[in-house]
Chain A
Amino acid sequence: MTRAVAVLCFALALLVPSLARAHKPSDSYLMLEKTATGVRGRWDIALRDLEPAIGLDADQDGKLNWKELRARLPTVIAYATARLNARSATGVCRLAAQPQGVVAHSDGKYVALSLDFSCPSDATSVTLVYDFLFDVDAQHRGVSSYTDEGKVQPFVFGKNRRSVVLSRVIPRFSSIVGLGIEHIWSGYDHLLFLTALLLPAVLRRRDGAWQPAADFRSVLLDVLRTVTAFTLAHSLTLALSTAHWVVLPSRFVESAIAASIVLAALNNLFPVLDADRTLAFGLGLLHGFGFAAVLSDVGLSGSSFLRTLFGFNLGVELGQLAVVVALLPVLHLLRRSRRYPTWGLPVASTAVMLVACVWLAERAFDLKIIS
């Protein structure tokens, strides 16, 4: 009888009709995405889960404040990162983790960690092993998502599913070309630079003044030469930068690109360089570095390097060509306008220059703030 009483200390609980379990169970949230070199993302871990595992509430008063959590962040990072690993077929991925702050989920506060796994560069898949908290709470789940190629793959880690294979999709050629087109169209600065170069294409410098070009055929040739020079230049630096042979700080590149537009517009107002090609090539070199920043996010592994570079560049040229084709009829009309050399060109060039000056100031200002 004594045994029965001891065992039955919560005997009747089940006889009363059940009220659904009151609280939310233990979940962590792992949001991952593909990067050039591996996988990165954010990991939200409930403070309520960390308390029994490593102890956060230093004064044991049942109230956890930011000071107490802050003091334990190094332990949180060490505890968590020791329990989440990634590897590819050829080796282990290095994990860099940082505390980001706290975040509220529906049942309370979580600590948010940023994660960045760097894997061997030829990895076509990454195996993620989640061995977190199951020894504390066997019903813990790691509610996760992995984003690659716009596809979100949700999955849940549990005691009986501790690993998942994340395949790293190599982008389709057409989507790389599309990326190039999108980039040139959305990168106003490249288009504005090109516009600045093409504005005087219908005019010729004679005796220190602008004169209409003799015929439209020569205008076409002029445009072709300018665009080709720009293309050659930015293709060259795009390749150099993407291959990591020449790497420039992105803020410098951004500012220099803005400056290049100012220079191109200035050259329309006060022509120094006769040949637009020289300007297009010289300053076009800068723009290639700007394109490279976009490509570095796509992820370039050894075998697909040339394919990606070629596809992206092709996209940039197609996008640029479309803009030029759209500009040609306008240029054709402008060639006959008498006011264009005296009014149209200076006003348009000044407007372009002002916009570029604002960009330049912003980018340079940013540079000062950061350094």
Chain B
Amino acid sequence: MAMANGRRRAWLLGVPISLLGLAAALTLARPTAATAAVYVPRSDDELLETLPVGAQNRWLQAPTGANAHAPADAASSVARARSELIQYQASSDPRYLGRAEAALGPFWEQPNPPQPVLVLRARIRQSNHEFSVALSDLDHALLMDPQDPQALLDRASIHTVLGRYDAARSDCSRLEGLTASLYVSACRAAIAGVTGSARAAADDLARALLVPGLELEDECWAESLLGELSTRVGDWAAAEAHFLGVLAACPSDSYAKGALADLWLARGRNAEVVRLLAEQVQKDALLLRLTIAERGLHSPEFSKHLEDLSQRFEEAHLRGSSVHRREEARFELALRDAPERALALALSNFEVQRETADVQIALEAALAAGKPERAQAVLAFVRASGLEDPQIARLLARFPR
């Protein structure tokens, strides 16, 4: 009976809470992002956060007041949005996407903004997986300037992601003579890689890479594409060499890290994956691969990383985001042993995007769930596209004819 005073009072308060739901306890007890405990750091020196440095990250505080309330000057908005997008591309941190959108300010909402705004807006929407509005922005931009190579290249890439290869090829052809041959070759290679002619495309792209004076970023992206093409034709040693080459030149390239991790995971080289990705826990897609490898190794880090990933997906759901469905499907399948949920996610993801990884996770989930019939649309798509890939081929062989 002699309960501590504080406890007793909390109990007294707990009654009206449960009855009328007034109090924080309920909110705080929700199994959401909000469960974390607030604390006051004990030491002034406690490191709270590592932040990006440099003037780029401070433009909002510039004394000139360069923010969304600045006069609607299209040229400076576009310049700022573009520099944020470059940061996004380099870091894949979506905050830069949001900042690029903010930089476009009032132009973002306009039905007929200046042509460069349309191209940037399309790029941002595409990065948010809003493919149809991105396409209509690019259609619009190309009506205003039919020879804009950026708009053509971006539209080709959207068509490729959506599996509309004829439309994509037509945009790549229109690029010819408008821009450097590397871009034309890369445009075609991206399509060829998923329609059964990866080898020829790789030769063509490798030749285009021999042109001197290329930007380092372009070389890295093209090399990644070569790695992708090698994976398609089953030349894993070449693929590995390409991705390692990318990382030698562009050490922070997330795509190459993820692709390399996938190559190694498929061959059970878990320890190498952990070495590659141990520092990449901030990046969801890489944390996913790291955690899969840790599971294989029975690593002590595994359970914490699994918890972190669960929380990230939950937080994405809370904000209403669905750009992670492919990763979430893989998470459910490879880490939660929940093939049914994985299949549902993978199929809804396949409605939105149709890259090789999207095909692969949908097929794997359908087989794991014992419901191959639910992957009919995916199978039809693969057969129509002519996608060559030894891993996909092995999966296809397990489906009843």
CA distance A22 to B97 in the complex (A): 12
Beta-carbon contact of B33 and A15 below 8 Å = no
Q: Mark the stretch among B176-184, B367-375, B393-401 that contacts chain A.
A: B176-184
- Whether B19 and A150, one on each chain, are in contact in the complex, defined by CB atoms closer than 8 angstroms, is yes
By the criterion CB–CB under 8 Å, are B22 and A137 in contact? no
| Residues from 14 to 56 in B contacting A, C-beta threshold 8 Å | 15-16, 18-24, 26-28, 30, 32-34, 36-41, 43-53
A363 contacts which chain B residues (CB < 8 A)? 5
Alpha-carbon separation in the docked complex, A135 to B67 (Å): 7
Contact status A22-B282, CB under 8 Å: yes
B376 at the interface (CB under 8 A from A): no
Partner of B45, one of A23, A66, A105: A66
Closest Cβ–Cβ distance, residue A304 to chain B (whole Å): 13
**Which residues in chain A, 118-172, are within 8 Å of chain B measured between CB atoms?**
134-141, 143, 145, 147-152, 154, 156, 171
Tell me the minimal C-beta distance from B131 to chain A in angstroms.
11
Q: Are A145 and B52 in contact (CB under 8 A)?
A: no
Contact pattern, A 1-40, Cβ under 8 Å of B = 1, otherwise 0: 1001101111111111111111111110101111100000
A10 to B119, CA, bound (A): 13
Alpha-carbon distance A60/B8, docked complex (angstroms): 48
Of B4, B86, B126, B255, the residue contacting A362 (CB under 8 A) is: B4
A368 at the interface (CB under 8 A from B): no
B42-86 interface bits toward A, Cβ cutoff 8 Å, 1 = contact, 0 = none? 011111111111000111110000011100000000000000011
Chain B 201-230 interface mask (CB, 8 Å, partner A; 1/0): 000000000000001011001101100100
Q: Which residues of B contact A141 (CB under 8 A)?
A: 319-320
- Asked if A323 lies at the interface with its beta carbon under 8 angstroms from chain B, I say no
Contact B30 A145 (CB under 8 A): yes
Question: Across the interface, do A139 and B98 meet the contact criterion of CB distance under 8 Å?
Answer: yes
Q: A33 is contacted by which of B27, B95, B150 (Cβ under 8 Å)?
A: B27
User: Please, what's the 1-or-0 string for A285-306, where 1 marks a CB less than 8 Å from any CB in chain B?
Assistant: 0000000011001110000000
**From B11, B45, B127, B319, contact of A27 by CB (8 A):** B319
Contacts of A151 in B (CB 8 A): 21
Taking CB atoms, residues of chain A closer than 8 Å to B67 are 135-136
Contact status A103-B97, CB under 8 Å: no
Say if the beta carbon of A106 comes within 8 Å of chain B.
yes
Complex alpha-carbon distance, A174 and B180, angstroms: 76
Given A20-B324, A47-B49, A66-B48, A135 and B27 contact (CB-CB distance below 8 Å): no
Provide a sorted-by-A list of 18 A–B residue pairs whose CB atoms are within 8 angstroms.
A10-B85, A12-B186, A17-B255, A19-B285, A20-B324, A22-B284, A25-B94, A25-B319, A31-B34, A33-B21, A44-B34, A53-B60, A65-B44, A105-B36, A106-B33, A106-B315, A134-B68, A150-B18
Asked whether B108 is an interface residue with its Cβ less than 8 Å from the other chain, the reply is: yes
- Are B45 and A65 in touch, CB under 8 angstroms? yes
Q: How far is the CB of B387 from chain A (nearest CB, A)?
A: 12
Interface residues of A in 21-80 (CB under 8 A from B): 21-27, 29, 31-35, 41-42, 44, 47-49, 51-57, 60-67, 69-70
For chain A, residues 351 to 371, give those with C-beta under 8 angstroms from any C-beta of chain B: 355, 358-359, 362-363, 366
- The interface residues of chain B lying within 8 Å CB-to-CB of A366 are 5-6
Instruction: Check A14–B326 contact: CB distance below 8 A.
Output: no
Q: Chain A residues near B228 (CB, 8 Å)? A: 16-17
Distance of B130 from chain A, by nearest CB (Å): 11
Distance, CA A14 to CA B6, complexed state (A) = 58
Within 8 Å of chain A (Cβ to Cβ): is B327? yes
What is the number of residues of chain A that contact chain B, defined by CB distance less than 8 Å?
104
Main secondary structure of the interface of A (DSSP, over half): mixed
Given contacts A13-B221, A66-B48, contact A61 B53 (CB under 8 A): yes
Q: Is the CB of B153 within 8 A of A298?
A: no
Are A143 and B33 in contact (CB-based, < 8 A)? yes
Assess whether A188 is in contact with B27, with CB atoms less than 8 Å apart.
no
Asked whether, in the complex, the Cβ of A143 is within 8 Å of the Cβ of B356, the reply is no
Closest chain B residue to A146 by CB distance? B27
Assess whether B258 is interfacial by the CB under 8 Å rule. Answer: yes
Task: List the one stretch of A85-93, A107-115, A199-207, A226-234 in contact with chain B.
Answer: A107-115
Q: List residues of chain A with CB within 8 A of the CB of B218.
A: 11-12
> How far is B45's CA from A107's CA once the two chains are assembled, in angstroms?
20
Q: Which of B1, B6, B39, B186 contacts A15 (CB 8 A)?
A: B186
The answer to whether B18 and A103 have CB atoms under 8 Å apart is no
Select from chain A the residue with minimum beta-carbon distance to B116.
A7
Q: Which residues of B have CB within 8 Å of A294?
A: 12, 15-16
A274 at the interface (CB under 8 A from B): no
Contacts of B160 in A (CB 8 A): 15
Q: Which of B39, B258, B284 contacts A103 (CB 8 A)?
A: B39
- CB contacts (< 8 Å) of A106 on chain B: these are 33, 308, 311-312, 315
Task: Name the A residues within 8 Å of B319 (CB-CB).
Answer: 25, 27, 141, 143, 156
Among residues of A, the one whose C-beta sits closest to the C-beta of B325 is: A20
Give Cα distance in the complex from A139 to B102, angstroms: 8
Interface hub of B16, B187, B320, B326 (most chain A Cβ within 10 A): B16
Is A273 interfacial (CB 8 A cutoff)? no
- Report if A346 contacts B (CB, 8 A): no
A residues near B21, Cβ cutoff 8 Å: 33, 147-152
Across the interface, which residues of A come within 8 angstroms of B28, CB to CB? 31
In whole Å, how far is B42's beta carbon from the nearest beta carbon of chain A? 8
Query: Residue of A at shortest CB range from B119?
Result: A7
Contacts of A105 in B (CB 8 A): 33, 36, 311, 315
Residues of A within 8 A of B320 (CB): 141, 156
| Besides A14-B126, A137-B102, A139-B97, 17 other A-B contacts (C-beta < 8 A) | A11-B149, A13-B89, A22-B93, A31-B34, A33-B24, A64-B51, A65-B45, A67-B45, A100-B38, A101-B40, A106-B33, A108-B282, A137-B101, A145-B30, A154-B318, A297-B13, A299-B22
With a cutoff of 8 Å between Cβ atoms, the chain B residues found around residue A134 in the complex are 68, 102
Which of A49, A106, A150, A358: most chain B Cβ within 10 A?
A106
Contact B95 A11 (CB under 8 A): no
In the complex formed, the residue of A with least CB distance to B312 is A106
Q: Check: B378 CB closer than 8 A to any chain A CB.
A: no
A104 CB–B CB distance under 8 Å: yes
B270 at the interface (CB under 8 A from A): no
Check if A187 is an interface residue, CB within 8 A of chain B.
Answer: yes
- For residue B366, CB closer than 8 A to chain A, the reply is no
CA distance A347 to B45 in the complex (A): 59
> Which residues of chain B are within 8 angstroms of A156 by Cβ–Cβ distance?
318-320
The interface residues of chain B lying within 8 Å CB-to-CB of A145 are 27, 30, 32, 34
Q: Does A175 contact B (CB under 8 A)?
A: yes
- Report how far A66 CA is from B42 CA in the complex, Å: 9
- Any B CB within 8 A of the CB of A102: yes
List residues of B (149-177) whose CB comes within 8 Å of A's CBs: 149-150, 153-154, 156-158, 160-161
Contact of B89 among A10, A29, A33 (CB under 8 A): A10
Q: Is the CB of B91 within 8 A of A22?
A: yes
Q: Given contacts A11-B150, A139-B101, are A23 and B36 in contact (CB under 8 A)?
A: no
When distances are taken between beta carbons in the complex, the residues of chain B under 8 Å from A137 are 95, 98-99, 101-102
